[in-house]
Chain A
Amino acid sequence: MPQASQSARPERQGYVLLAPALIVYLLFAVYPMIDVVRMSFSSWNGLSPGANFVGLANYRAIFTQDPVFWGALRNTIWWTALAVTLPNLVSFGLALALNQNIPGKSGLRVVFYLPVIIASIAVATIWKWMYDPFFGLFNNLLMQFGLDGWILDWLGDRKVALWSVFVAHLWQSVGFSMVLFLAGLQGVSATLVEAARIDGAGRWGVFRYVTLPALKPTLMVVFVLSLINSLKAFDIVYGMTGGGPAQSTQMLAMWAYTQSMQLGVFGRGAAVSVVLLLITLVIVLPYIRWMFRREEMSR
C-alpha cells in the first residue's frame, strides 16, 4: 500500500495546483460556451425562471426573418477580410523598415505601438471627435484645402460609416502586428542574409528567398490573431456608431449582444453567438493543432 500512495501523491499535488485556474476557467469561460448552444435552442426573455425548448426556431428566425442578420454577417465578413490584409500589410512594411539600420528606431516603434495600449472605447471617442461633421479634424482639413465637396458626415452616412470605423481600427491595430513581425524578423539569420548578399542576391532576392521563408510561422500567427481579433470587433463599433446609422455598421458580435442584452430575446442572440462561435472554431481548431504540434516538437 505505501508504494501506491507514494506514486499517487505527486499527481494529487499536481491537481491541487491546477484546480483554482481550471475551476475558474471551466465555470466562467467553458460553461458559458456550452450554455450559449443550449440557449440557442430555447426561448428565454431574461426574466422568467425557465426556458422553453423551441428547436431550430431561433436559427430559422435569424436566417429568414431577422432584417439585420445578413447585413451584420456581410459587414463582419468585409471587416474581417480587410482587417487581416490592410493593417497587416502596413505592419509588415513598418517592421521591415524598422529592421533596417536607421536612426530613431525605438522612438518610431513607440509611436506606432502607442494606439494599441489605448482602450478601444477611448479610440472610439478620439476618432468620433475627429470625424465630427462640424468641428472635427477631417472636415476642417478638407475645408482648409478647399475640398469642400469631399466633406462628409463620416459616421452618419450609411455608405461610409463602416469604413470610417475601420480606419480607426487600422490606426489602433497596426502596432500590434508590427511588434510580432519585428520579433519574427529577429529570428531571420543574419549570416544567411549576408551569405545571400555575397552570392549576389539583390534586395528583392534576399527578401524573397531568405526573409520571407523564415517569417512563415510569424505570418501564420499574425494571420490567425488578426482574424480572431476582427471577429470580436465590438468596443470600437459600439463606441463610434452603436451599429448605426440604420444598422449599416452592425456586426455579428454586437448584434448578438443587442438581441440578448437590449432586446431581451436571449434565444436569438444565442443563435447569432453560435454562428459566430462556429466560424471561430473553423479557424481556430486547425491553428491550435498546429501550435500543439509545435509545442510537442520543441520538447
Chain B
Amino acid sequence: MTLFSQAFRPVGSAKVDPVLIALWVSLILLALIWITPFVFIVFTALKSNATVMGASAFMPPTELAFENFAAAWWRGNFSTTAFNGVVITVIKVPLGLFISAMAAYALAKVPMRMNKALFALFLFGTMLPFQVMLAPIFRQVNAFGLINTYPGIILPYLAFGIPYQVFILYCFFSAVPKELSEAARIDGASHFTIFRRIFLPISLPVLSALLILDFVATWNEFAMALVILQDPKMWTLPLGLMSFQSQFSSDYGELNAATIMTVLPAAIVYLMFQRYFVAGLTSGAVKE
C-alpha cells in the first residue's frame, strides 16, 4: 500500500481529496476503454474463423490458434515487407539525423549571411503536409527514374523529415554557450571538426529522442509509400497490411494476426523507450 499512502492528496494538503479518487476511478475506466481495441484484436487473432463467426465476440479464445500468425506471415508476404521496412528505416533514420544535425549546426553556429532566411525556410517545412501533394512528389521521383526503388522512397522521406529535425537541433545548438565553439576556433579547428568532436557528442540525448520518434514515423508511413512503391516486391509493412485487408478481409483471425505483426515492432520500441518519445515530441513544440 505504499503506492497509495501518499496519493490523492493535493499539493500542500495532508488530507485525502475525494474528488481526486473519483477522478482516478474515471481515468482507470477510460483507460480500459482505450485498451479494448487491442484486447479485441489479440483475441480475434487467436481464434479460428469458425469460432469468430460462431461464438460471442468478447469471449477469450479457448483453443489458441497460433497458426493464424504463420499463415498471415506467409500470405501477407511479411518476409518481403518487413525486410523492405528494415532497409528503408535503417538507412533513412540515421542518415536524415546526421545531415539535419550538420545543417542545424551551420545555421546555429556558423555566421552566414543567409542564416535567418534559411532557418525560416526550414521552419516553413515543418508545417508542410506532404499528404496534400502526393502526385507532384510522385512526378519528381519519377523524373529521377526512382519509382519502386529504395532511394526513391528514402529521398522524399528525408526531405519531409529534415525540417523538423533541423528545427529541434537548431534550438538545442543555439543554447550551447558560444565559448565552447569559439575556444576551439581560436585553436584553429575547422567547423567540421567542431561539429564532429564537440557538438555531435553533446547532442546525443536529443539525437536519440529524434531517432526513436523518426523510427516509428518511418516504419508506419503509408501515403508516400503508396504512390512511390507500387511494385509488391518493394512494399513496406503498412502497404502489405492494406493489401491483406482488401484481399482477405473475411479471414478474421489471420487479418488480426497481420495487424498485430505490423504494429508490434513500433509498440515494442515505444514501450522500451517511452521517455524519449516525450522528450523528442516536447523539446520542439513546447519550449520555454
Contact = CB atoms under 8 A, between A and B. Distances in A.
A277 interface: yes
Interface string A115-140: 10111111011111110101111001
A179 B281 contact: yes
A27 B155 contact: yes
B130 A29 contact: yes
Given A17-B105, A101-B7, A184 B286 contact: yes
Contact of B278 (A35, A179, A298): A179
A270 interface: yes
B150 interface: no
B263 interface: yes
A101 B6 contact: yes
Most buried by B among A10, A30, A36, A117: A117
B135 A130 contact: no
A117 B41 CA distance: 16
A28 B137 contact: yes
Given A27-B159, A110-B274, A122-B241, A10 B286 contact: no
A255 to B, nearest CB: 11
A208 interface: no
A84 interface: no
A179 B252 contact: no
A27 B143 CA distance: 11
A225 B8 CA distance: 33
A17 B128 contact: no
Contact of A253 (B52, B131, B252): B131
B115 to A, nearest CB: 8
Interface in B149-171: 155-156, 158-160, 162-163, 166, 171
Contacts of B11: 101, 190, 193-194, 197
A140 B124 contact: no
B210 interface: no
B77 interface: no
Given A108-B27, A112-B31, A280-B129, A28 B281 contact: no
A160 B113 CA distance: 55
A101 B8 contact: yes
Contacts of A36: 133, 135-136
Nearest to B12: A194
A31 to B, nearest CB: 6
A161 interface: no
Contacts of A266: 135, 139
Contacts of A190: 11
B127 A257 contact: no
Contacts of A238: 222-223, 226, 242
A183 B284 CA distance: 11
A221 B285 contact: yes
B10 interface: yes
B172 interface: no
A298 to B, nearest CB: 7
Given A18-B118, A137-B36, A194-B11, A32 B133 contact: yes
A235 interface: yes
A129 B255 contact: yes
A118 B278 CA distance: 16
Contact of B34 (A111, A144, A180): A111
Given A218-B286, A298-B287, A135 B52 contact: yes
Contacts of B191: 10, 13-14, 17
A184 to B, nearest CB: 5
B56 A11 contact: no
Nearest to B165: A21
Q: Which 7 A-B pairs have the closest CB atoms?
A: A14-B110, A260-B135, A28-B159, A119-B220, A21-B103, A32-B136, A183-B282
5 contacts: A10-B110, A30-B125, A119-B219, A218-B286, A273-B132
Interface of A: 10-11, 13-18, 20-22, 24-25, 27-33, 35-36, 39, 94, 97-98, 100-104, 108, 110-115, 117-122, 124-130, 132, 134-137, 140-141, 144, 171, 176, 179-180, 182-184, 187, 190, 193-194, 197, 203, 217-218, 221, 224-225, 228, 231-235, 238-239, 252-253, 256-257, 260-261, 266, 269-270, 273, 276-277, 280, 284, 287-288, 291-292, 294-295, 298-299
Given A25-B159, A129-B259, A203-B19, 17 more contacts: A15-B106, A17-B102, A25-B125, A27-B155, A32-B137, A33-B136, A103-B4, A103-B7, A122-B238, A125-B255, A126-B41, A135-B252, A144-B58, A180-B286, A183-B282, A228-B127, A232-B132
